[in-house]
Structure 1
Amino acid sequence: MASSTTKKRSAPGSDGSAVTTAIKRRRRTDFGTSSMITRSQTLSAARNAVLHTTELLENILYFLPMKDLLFAQRVCMKWRELIRKSIPLQEALFFRPKELNVFWRLIKEPDMPAKLKKASRKEYLEDWSGEILDSAIPNPLLCNIGLRNRSRVYSVLCDVSQSATFKPRPSATHATASWQNMLVAHTTSREMEHYFEYLENRKDAYVWDVYCTSIYRPRQAYGRNILASVEAIESEGYFVNWESHEVRFPGVCFTTEEELQMDEVEDEV
């Protein structure tokens, strides 16, 4: 009698179930890791694409603080060359003169706050009253503007805005130091006056005296010009007080990049 044999499929043991679950989890984990790697690679590729596009990199560097832009030259040779050849970046570092072409008229009306209002270049050239001022942006690494916590208009009324304190003598005085090749200010002013105190021996007493030198065509007034004026006095045996230096631009209103975009600046005092 033929007997039919049937094979029964046995249920997997607990060990087999654990292996199957582990494989599924591993697949899910691998998929998640792969997704993260892909996303990271995409972000890295996008970042590299931006940093290797000259126009985009130049625009990013332009909005860096001045000190950061100066140090960015040390990142790599490519960045150094870009900063050296870029006109906007050279202007931002005061290595190259910048044309502002912004002029301000001082408006004073009875019972009204004083204000500065933009004027045209033609009005500036034809003005003999002294009420229309040229603009200048002082180099923040070399100058401190003495606004005395007052408004911009107040400083113009009090004749404070035309002068800035030159910062103490930098430690790096060698000819290749960056600050020596920087302009004192962006300006079209015809003259810059440099004042500083020095100690003079007059008979039986030492007295402080003030030395003044005028630099014409201040668009070419660099930090090295300031240093040369001081070293000329020091070479004669005088002691120069580096805590008391002032640069002055007659007929100029110190301003900022933000104010250049405004049509008028009102007195807030």
Structure 2
Amino acid sequence: MELSRWLWYKVKDLLLKIYGLLIRVQVFGRDKIALPMRSGLIVAANHLTGADSIVIQIGLKTRIFFLAWARWFRSRFVGFWMRNLCDTMPVNKDGVKDNVASLRRSIQLLKQGKTIGIYPEGELNRQGRIEKVYNGTAWLAVRAGVPVLPVYVSGLKKGPVPHSKPWLNEAWEGFFSVVGNLLNRNIILAVGEPIFPRCQGTVSYVELKREIERINRLMLEQFRELEKKYNRQWQEVDHRRN
């Protein structure tokens, strides 16, 4: 099993390197990555397209285990590739009970010093403006005792709108966005300040609730600042090049 995972990781790493040669990702705030990268880390990003996870790993130059909507895993074929090639674990929006295995695995990986990727909005948001975040990111940060690193993605070309046609689901949007971003030179990753939990592990309900609210608030504030600065910057760069 370990050999199989290692081989899949090597295949994934090779494909990421090839794709990385065909695109250009500008990373702003790279200096903010060094400190939290020494321990486990949660990368929290906005979710523009199905190509986000690929671009984030190329830009941050690290292996990231992403959490993704469980419905993507209903297809055996898609689920196989998501688990093995994309290092992805399924999560259900309906509650913690359905996510016990993935959450345990996430905490285990974080305590081993690995990086977990989460889209705190819980779904695609093609506008790039985050209005709300779910509690899962902050909850995981507290339970594992690791920082959250906000990352704002901009400049990606989007695939067709999911469900605009009967056959066109999120998986197809991901495929078209990956293909559509080949040779894209305008991609931006803007890294925010790491958010460290003030408490960790098993804490009281009141303390946990207060800390989740604090982390969520700081995440939203940073996302809005990054969006205001770097979404506009991408638009200016794109306008000049066109």
Task: State the TM-score, normalizing by the size of structure 1.
Answer: 0.24
Higher relative contact order (CA 8 A, sep 6+): 2
TM-score (norm 2): 0.26
Higher strand share: 1
- Structure number with larger C-alpha Rg: 1
